[in-house]
Structure 1
Amino acid sequence: MTTGEKTDKNPKIGKFINDVITDSINAVQRDSSNLPTGTLPSPVVSKNSLGVAPNQFSSIGTNSTVPTRGGQLTASALSDLFFVYAHNLTSIRRATVTRLSTNDGTPSSSTLWSNQITSLSSDYKMATGTFRTQVNAQGDPLSGLQPGSIASNTAIDTLIAALQTVLQNNRTSASVSITVCHSSCHSSCHGSRGRR
């Protein structure tokens, strides 16, 4: 078997990547009632902090009247929320190699190494710098997340569109380096003293 191919051989993993990124693209556009519960690594600390759906703002600036736990929601805070939320969505499921037994009577295949989907893993998250660079490449919407730098619906829409583009690209290009190993080649795959 080929070791560490940059191709997703497992249809379950492929389906997961497809489904989760599709759902994530939609989630980026949802209003506050659909944001994740609990704290978020951004100025907006919980779903209750964002009292108005982003598409309902007529003007978003440093004097926004939308309350947050720490004061008023600024345009830069809102853009940060979208950026961090979308970046977190680039995580995909960890793929591990798990040993399974088979009873087909063939000595060399008495042990089969197969992929198993486990929990979400930040190990596969796009690097922050790479993510920011790719978002900026869609029209430089992150030229400076300073207070008031994104102060209109149009600017927020530009940011969301850029995030969507990166997520869409990640959806079609993301892959996990996977090794599927048969016991007959276990020695060559992993350097162990497995059965040949």
Structure 2
Amino acid sequence: MKKNISAKEKRLNIWIAIISIAIPLEVLILFSYKIPNIEPLSFLPPIYATINGITAVLLVLAIVAIKKGKYGLHYKLMTTCVALSVLFLVMYVAYHMTSESTSFGGEGVIRYIYYFILITHILLSISVIPLVLITYSKAYLENYDAHKLWARYTFPVWLYVAITGVVVYLMISPYYLH
């Protein structure tokens, strides 16, 4: 038997769908646009890679907090992870709107490893958007059983995206033009 969905949840689901489609489309559009006559923001990649690393650590701390029954701390940590992810996205787009793409220069097996990590990172970073929004909305709606269920899928994907963001940066950073 299907549970009735409240009007509030329906509105949230519509916004989640819109945001989950709009963000990747906007990134794709903005990624291909270069702002003319502006100095490349080449200082950003290590900053947004660090943000990814901090997000990964905070995600793990949030899981530890919830397992210990520290709901307020868990909420604050997860909200911080969402804010850091938004900050990352803004910096990532700003960098790519002012800088030429960097090609990976590694050869042999490392090249295949890099592209495997990069492709899975990109695909999962797109899928993590609705996962995070749905999971967060379940907590907002105080549907904690559904929140917990969604979190079981969201957490490992989000953690993978955060960690591989750092790995991709570390692998490509020797090839950045300075």
> Which of the two has greater helix per residue?
2
Q: Same fold (TM over 0.5)?
A: no
- TM-score, with structure 2 as normaliser: 0.35
Question: Which entry has the higher C-alpha Rg, 1 or 2?
Answer: 1
TM-score computed with the length of structure 1 as normaliser: 0.33
